[in-house]
Structure 1
Amino acid sequence: MAAVIPAVTRISSRIIRVLGCNPGAMTLQGTNTYIVGTGKRRILIDTGDSDVPQYINHLRNVLNYEGIDLAHIFISHWHHDHIGGLTDILEGIRGKKQNTVRFGNIRGPKMNFPTTDGQEFSVEGATLRIVHTPGHTEDHIILHLLEDNAVFSGDCILGEGTAVFEDLYDYMNSLRDIASIQPNVIYPGHGNVIHKPMEKIQFYINHRAEREQQIMDVLSNNRTQCFGEPDLVKMIYADLPEKLVKAAEANVNHHLVKLLKEEKVRKCDGLWQYNEPDTYIKIR
């Protein structure tokens, strides 16, 4: 059972976590938002969901107690449980000067300033570097806290379970990019702090590699046949509850699209077939 996450936690001298108070099947105990820095002007990472007065009250109380305001607000990606509370914060918590910074092409409400990969932002006690990590969503970023070699991972890596994604090919590359940082600690968008980050990243990579190998085994052992996602799910997933079949089919599709980009499979009349490397034909 996961350890309970308090509404407000002082994680270190430069990080305060404020729970979004929006528990759910996809958000776990809620969205983690983080106040970063040591001075009067600090950075907020993510804003929780919309219309959650309890979260806004907790955030306001922390800012008032610490005697601080917000220099920047960073949004890890466009999902509602990370950007939804932005308007409530901008309207309900008045700082001297607030900037909302977000990577990607999808515009959030109000005061949005997209960033570039590798760009750095500093406040007293904290320097954050933007790292573009698409896959969970096209616009996803993580933030690398240089002083602690720590990563705020958004939904790319979670404190519990595994993450969902839009594009598995990009997602796997993003996991490898995070691994190349070799962070000392990961502060996820959901779930508790990850104190053994390299183990967690490798677990994520291995989990996807195992499923991919299962798909490739079916296709390579039946090279003259074409398969749809429902066929592969029946052959790969043992004793799968009916309510999870569609999700499993979607997951298999993500793997197949990745394998298509890598030229390991090909499409034949909407179905999938093992690709002989010397005869690859990419059908869009």
Structure 2
Amino acid sequence: MAESLVPIPDIEQLSPQVIRVLGGNPGKFTLQGTNTYIIGTGTQRILLDTGEGKPAWLTSIKKVLSEQNINIATALLSHWHHDHIDGVPDLLSHSPSTEVYKRDPKEGWKDISDGQTFSTEGATLTAFHCPGHTKDHMAFVLAEEKAMFTADNVLGQGTAVFEDLATYMDSLAAMSKHSQFTGRAYPGHGPVIEDGRGKVLEYIKHRKEREKQVLDVLAKEKEDGWTSWDIVKVIYRDYPESLWKPAEMGVLQILGKLEKEGKIVKDKERGTWALSGKAAL
């Protein structure tokens, strides 16, 4: 069953270097709302992500900047989804001198390359390209805490969605092995994760278990073959039916990955799937 959301305040000082400001956009996919982070200890700070342009977010940002007498010198955007970048116009209306960075940037923004470093008083962030959730997805490692801002590859509650499962799994593996990531994870949605690497490994284990469940279903005899919806109804039978449709998207990603690996085959005419001779259960 879906877990209840942990209450998160609109503004919270999470560490000497990190303040979280909620995006004011709670929802089914955004959980408590998009996490945006003000990073550093001096008067010139770095902002990670900008929410989706909700007035509540700008009000919170203005409150923090005023109360702490600080400015946003640099804004980093983790990926292209609107709930992370649509607050940029509001940010620039209040802080027009802020430089905005994003991998594959829009006009007027600057690019982010893998390994690029962003520094301010009290904080050094290193960009880490980890596609899967999206092609442009970037995480950032905070040297002072050996922590990682995982954006939407790893969430504080629940599991993440992804554009390409194989790429996503490769990125999770790389995140789990990052030599400078031994502390917290600051996710794009949900509460702080104290054991960041442990959570990434948990995600990897979960995805592998889901993959095995799909293979186990396909190993069972079914006269007219297995559609993706048939598989969902078996694997998610103990979950509310309202979750089945989004779950099917994940199952289709698994099927696509397994097909590329030669473990299963698809009957395109019937829209069904079956094990091939290469499947390893």
Q: TM-score, normalised by structure 1?
A: 0.87
- The verdict on how the C-alpha distance between 1:239 and 1:123 changes in structure 2, with shifts beyond 3 A counting, is closer
- C-alpha distance in structure 1 between counterparts of 2:111 and 2:138, whole Å: 11
- C-alpha distance in structure 2 between counterparts of 1:234 and 1:22, whole Å: 31
Contact 1:73-1:100 at 8 Å conserved across structures:
yes
Structural RMSD (CA): 2.3
1:230 is the counterpart of 2:229: yes
Task: Give the structure 2 partner of residue 268 of structure 1.
Answer: 267
1:168 is the counterpart of 2:169: no
- C-alpha distance in structure 2 between counterparts of 1:244 and 1:179, whole Å: 28
- C-alpha distance in structure 1 between counterparts of 2:235 and 2:18, whole Å: 43
- C-alpha distance in structure 1 between counterparts of 2:182 and 2:246, whole Å: 32
Q: Deviations over 1:66-123 (max 9, x none)?
A: 22222211111111111111111111334xx3211112x3x44x52112111111111
- C-alpha distance in structure 2 between counterparts of 1:25 and 1:233, whole Å: 20
Among 62, 65, 71, which residue is 1:63 paired with?
Answer: 65
Task: Give the structure 2 partner of residue 46 of structure 1.
Answer: 49
Residue 114 of structure 1 aligns to a residue in which SS?
coil
1:75 is the counterpart of 2:77: yes
Residue 255 of structure 1 aligns to a residue in which SS?
helix
- C-alpha distance in structure 1 between counterparts of 2:5 and 2:272, whole Å: 41
The alpha-carbon deviation at position 45 of structure 1 amounts to 0.1
Contact 2:124-2:143 at 8 Å conserved across structures:
yes
Structure 2 counterparts to residues 252-263 of structure 1, below 5 A: 252-263=251-262
Task: Give the structure 2 partner of residue 99 of structure 1.
Answer: 99
Aligned length, in residue pairs: 272
- The verdict on how the C-alpha distance between 1:9 and 1:240 changes in structure 2, with shifts beyond 3 A counting, is closer
- C-alpha distance in structure 2 between counterparts of 1:240 and 1:156, whole Å: 23
Among 91, 116, 125, which residue is 1:119 paired with?
Answer: 116
Task: Give the structure 1 partner of residue 203 of structure 2.
Answer: 204
Structure 2 letter corresponding to 1:179 = S
- C-alpha distance in structure 1 between counterparts of 2:241 and 2:30, whole Å: 23
- C-alpha distance in structure 2 between counterparts of 1:5 and 1:240, whole Å: 26
Residue 113 of structure 1 aligns to a residue in which SS?
coil
- The verdict on how the C-alpha distance between 1:7 and 1:235 changes in structure 2, with shifts beyond 3 A counting, is closer
Structure 2 letter corresponding to 1:98 = T
Structure 1 letter corresponding to 2:204 = I
- C-alpha distance in structure 2 between counterparts of 1:230 and 1:128, whole Å: 43
Question: Identity over aligned residues, as a percent?
Answer: 45
Unaligned segments of structure 2, at least 5 residues: none
Contact 2:147-2:196 at 8 Å conserved across structures:
no
Residue 205 of structure 2 aligns to a residue in which SS?
helix
- C-alpha distance in structure 1 between counterparts of 2:248 and 2:8, whole Å: 33
Contact 1:223-1:274 at 8 Å conserved across structures:
no
Contact 1:225-1:273 at 8 Å conserved across structures:
no
Contact 2:149-2:188 at 8 Å conserved across structures:
yes
Structure 2 counterparts to residues 102-251 of structure 1, below 5 A: 102-103=102-103, 105=104, 107-108=105-106, 111-181=108-178, 182-222=181-221, 227-239=226-238, 241-251=240-250
- The verdict on how the C-alpha distance between 1:242 and 1:17 changes in structure 2, with shifts beyond 3 A counting, is closer
The alpha-carbon deviation at position 35 of structure 1 amounts to 0.8
Unaligned segments of structure 1, at least 5 residues: 279-284
Contact 2:148-2:196 at 8 Å conserved across structures:
no
